[in-house]
A and B are shown apart, each in its own frame.
Chain A
């Protein structure tokens, strides 16, 4: 299985006036944006800025109250084979080993055999022979296994929510190397993180969110001059 051919720098994700409400609370307030293929985007913002909700809406896990999300010209549910999603929790069964977990998720994507599962486990620098249940993994190992699950079906677009949380510096750097290699191979990657400095040298764009809106998009970690002046 391989990722769909995406022309470099073409816009593959279009978000139009996206509004997401939870009861009276408005998490996203009319977000409009376009994102190009083959880039690594880092989404930044304070707690409650709407980063996770935005990522979930892009992954098709949160239905917009109003507005539209288009991924490769399709709605997010239809594009689910092209999308990999890694959430803050591991999305893994604690009682199963890493390989058993991936074997199950492989079936959901119609991937037969253990070959691909073992390959992605090695890719995140874990051992496929490890029989320990995931519940007994360290937090760093769990995060890496979670990443392995997200990339199992070789998606062209990756949404990663806090992939470096509770991960030691060495493991975090290894994950950054992996993400960089994946971006260089043409994948589009979105990372929500509070540890943006880890990605400063490799990210293509920093997307700044505040109160449910995208307020700035910058090539580096410093806000653009117009916004810096208002802060």
Chain B
């Protein structure tokens, strides 16, 4: 196994073990998104057709905000006891750390989506009128778009004094094209309003471009003081 793959796997396993023992991120994310679902459902009282129009936006905004919680936690545990220094001092490739963190966040946010999506469906009385299978690539590509940039910008804001505020400030503007694609694609599928193919391809392109950029720049971020 190549060092990149074996170290990515070792770091991912370690992170999952740490999360399993502390449950820092998953508990906060679940609680936060549950609150969003409940508050939104009390704030709006849409009929079924209106629900299909707005649900895409509500669900992705809830996941975006919840993801920020996980993203901050991922790097916070590397700062305790300055463990990140041990990684920096080692010959391990920087990208292995980045990929492991991004994959870990992807797993966490996907778990959250798996739990929360059915609740959204129930609270908003939703049923897809378009091809429901398209929601799967939308969810996978959309989640990766959120976590890949989120992981990168969380690392970038790691050494800033107010990193909890810094992360959304950096992440949200750059995520606008991805969020718009996710929301539009989800709306099209739920409302049965044609094909979401264009938005899925746009999401895929966004993912490829930003994953490449993050991998190219991460070593500079890791070695920065």
Binding site for B on A (CB under 8 A): 59-63, 80-81, 83, 85, 87, 89-96, 100, 104-105, 107-110, 133, 149
Whether B89 lies near A83 (C-beta < 8 A) is yes
> Would you call A94 and B81 a contact (CB within 8 A)?
yes
Chain B residues whose CB sits within 8 angstroms of the CB of A85 once the complex forms = 85-86, 89
CB pair A81 B10 closer than 8 Å: no
B7 → A minimal CB distance (Å): 6
Interface range on chain B: under 10, 10 to 19, 20 to 34, or 35 or more? 20 to 34
Min CB–CB distance B104 → chain A (angstroms): 14
Which of chain A's residues have a CB closer than 8 A to the CB of B80?
A: 93-94
**Nearest-Cβ distance from residue A205 to partner chain B, whole angstroms:** 24
List 17 interface pairs A-B (beta carbons < 8 Å), by A numbering. Answer: A61-B89, A81-B91, A89-B81, A89-B82, A91-B82, A93-B14, A93-B80, A93-B83, A95-B22, A96-B14, A107-B7, A107-B10, A108-B86, A108-B87, A109-B90, A133-B21, A149-B86
Given contacts A107-B10, A108-B7, A110-B3, contact A93 B77 (CB under 8 A): yes
Which residues of B lie under 8 Å from residue A62 when comparing CB positions?
225
A-B interface, 3 closest residue pairs, ranked by CB to CB distance from nearest: A107-B10, A108-B92, A91-B86
Measured in the bound complex, the distance between the Cα atoms of B3 and A81 in whole Å is 14
With an 8 A cutoff between CB atoms, is B223 at the interface?
yes
Q: Are B85 and A108 in contact (CB under 8 A)?
A: no
B88 at the interface (CB under 8 A from A): yes
The one of B14, B21, B82 in contact with A104, judged by C-beta atoms closer than 8 angstroms, is: B14
Residue of A59, A94, A95, A109 ringed by the most chain B CB atoms within 10 A: A95
* CB-CB under 8 A for A61 and B91, given A90-B81, A94-B80, A107-B10: no
Q: Which residues of chain B from 1 to 39 have a CB within 8 Å of any chain A CB?
A: 3, 6-7, 10-11, 14, 17-18, 21-22
CA distance A63 to B10 in the complex (A): 28
